Amino acid sequence: MAGKRTCGCGVSRRGLLGTAGATVAVTAVSACGEPPNPQEVRRGRVIGQTDEVPEGGGAVFSHSKLVVTQPEKGRYKAFSAACTHGGCTVQEVEDEVIRCLCHGSEFDVVSGEPLSGPAKEPLEPFTVTIDGTDIILD
């Protein structure tokens, strides 16, 4: 259909707005797009603060297109926030699972491996260094 707008994951904006709650729709629409370009995710950059990443959970840093988790106290893991199914930015980390709400894929907070949903490939891993409370992309 001419003029139909879709995000990178193939979901129409109208579909997102019509089937999801307003908060989720706004997040999903702004989150959909191209997978992160490694060159735009600059190495050595502070991407967040440790107090933003709860133990046993994680946080999505959409400005850096990264999700950082803390599976155990003081042990941080980082992954590309681009869902390997269709490129949406994953939206939440809860109950030791990273979730993409576009189509329901779930990923392990330790390995980034897909646990359920249509994604079959793991989230791309990155490494981070903690300096005080700064989380720095290596």
Residues that bind ligand FES (CB under 6 A): 9, 83, 85-88, 100, 102-105, 117-119
Considering the complex, what minimum distance in angstroms separates the CB of residue 65 from ligand FES?
A: 14
Burial classification of residue 124, based on how many CB atoms lie within 10 Å of its CB (0-12 exposed, 13-18 middle, 19 or more buried): middle
Considering the complex, what minimum distance in angstroms separates the CB of residue 48 from ligand FES?
A: 22
Give the separation between CA 110 and CA 134, rounded to whole angstroms: 20
Q: Kindly tell me which of 57 and 114 has the beta carbon lying closer to ligand FES.
A: 114
Give the separation between CA 106 and CA 118, rounded to whole angstroms: 9
Question: How many angstroms from the chain centroid is the CA of residue 69?
Answer: 11
Q: Kindly tell me which of 10 and 71 has the beta carbon lying closer to ligand FES.
A: 10
Considering the complex, what minimum distance in angstroms separates the CB of residue 36 from ligand FES?
A: 13
